[in-house]
């Protein structure tokens, strides 16, 4: 993982923890969302596509069971 990405992940996590510590749920959620986006940007695009397809198939299966 590139050093800049590690720094960005650490910064997003620190921001999220600080928001949680002060009871700011909105800011904490926003910071954790940013953390996940940074993590996802580092993933292999094919893995992200495969995960999206699997989730879509699951959603279709759940919809058909109603």
- pLDDT tens-digit map of 11-54: 999 999 999 999 999 999 999 999 999 998 889 999 999 999 99
Q: Residue 5: pLDDT band by 50, 70, 90 thresholds? A: confident
pTM, rounded to two decimals: 0.69
Instruction: Give residue limits of the domains in the chain.
Output: 3-64
How many angstroms separate the Cα of 28 from the Cα of each of 2, 18, 56?
25, 8, 28
Enter the tokens of residue 33: 């969302």
Which DSSP state fits 38? H
CA distance 42 to 49: 13
């Amino acid at each position: 993982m590139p050093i800049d990405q590690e720094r960005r992940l650490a910064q997003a996590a620190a921001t999220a923890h600080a928001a949680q510590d002060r009871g700011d749920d909105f800011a904490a959620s926003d910071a954790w969302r940013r953390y996940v986006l940074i993590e996802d940007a580092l993933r292999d695009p094919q893995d992200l596509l495969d995960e999206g397809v699997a989730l879509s198939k699951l959603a279709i299966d759940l919809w058909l069971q109603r």
